[in-house]
Amino acid sequence: MCSYTDLLRYAGFKSEEDAAAERNKFEGIDFKSIISSPISTEADLIRIIHMVYAWMPTMLRSFSKVEGINAINLQDLLRYSQMARKKDITDDQERKLFTGLAKLTKNHMVGASKVLMVLNNEVYPIFDNRVMVGWNEYPENKNRKLSNKSIIKDENDCLKNYIMYKNCLITWAKQENKTIRQFEFLFFYKGRQMQKEFEK
């Protein structure tokens, strides 16, 4: 069990209000508009993927040039995305959604997790290097370390990593009557601070 109060202190915040104020700096109008964007058509899904990828260090290539794009059924990906937004998706469908999104974002776990977060931020947290650093240094997580799998090489290993992280956040958020974004942000913030210190 991860105590939200302990995690606040770990991230360097004196109160939940201070953490919320800092989180709001990262969740401006652009964030709010993308998480409420429609997902009725394949074009909507492509637009979301491109918007999310604008947060990434590199640009997406045209989908027609993505390696393996012919193996991805965009209609199925749209259907699974709609199911994820409604929280009505099986484990197998979720796996296909994750791997399909990863293929469309250059086999990138971070890109896939960000698209999933846009689809449903009550269920899917973002995984990136800053979150991983903050997570791995938290004493309560010594037996559940995340590995740096930004680029997906082994789908099963990568999904196991992400699902463990996602399920922990969902469980803790439910127990503490919080959102997974509240937990995820504290790990992100702590990891970001630690990386800044390392760069000095």
Q: pLDDT digits over 139-171, tens only? A: 999 889 887 665 556 666 778 888 999 999 999
pLDDT of residue 51: 81
Decide which of 12 and 199 is more confident.
Answer: 12
129 and 166 inside one domain: yes
Decide which of 182 and 58 is more confident.
Answer: 182
115 and 48 inside one domain: yes
Domain count, the chain: 2
Rounded-to-integer distance, Cα 125 and Cα 128, Å:
10
Rounded-to-integer distance, Cα 22 and Cα 47, Å:
28
pLDDT of residue 71: 53
- In the predicted model, is pLDDT for residue 61 greater than 70? no
The residue from 119, 142, 158 where one domain ends is 119
46 and 115 inside one domain: yes
Decide which of 196 and 148 is more confident.
Answer: 196
133 and 80 inside one domain: no
The residue from 71, 101, 119 where one domain ends is 119
% of the chain residues with pLDDT over 70: 84
Rounded-to-integer distance, Cα 132 and Cα 19, Å:
19
The residue from 67, 102, 119 where one domain ends is 119
Q: Which domain holds residue 49?
A: 37-119
62 and 113 inside one domain: yes
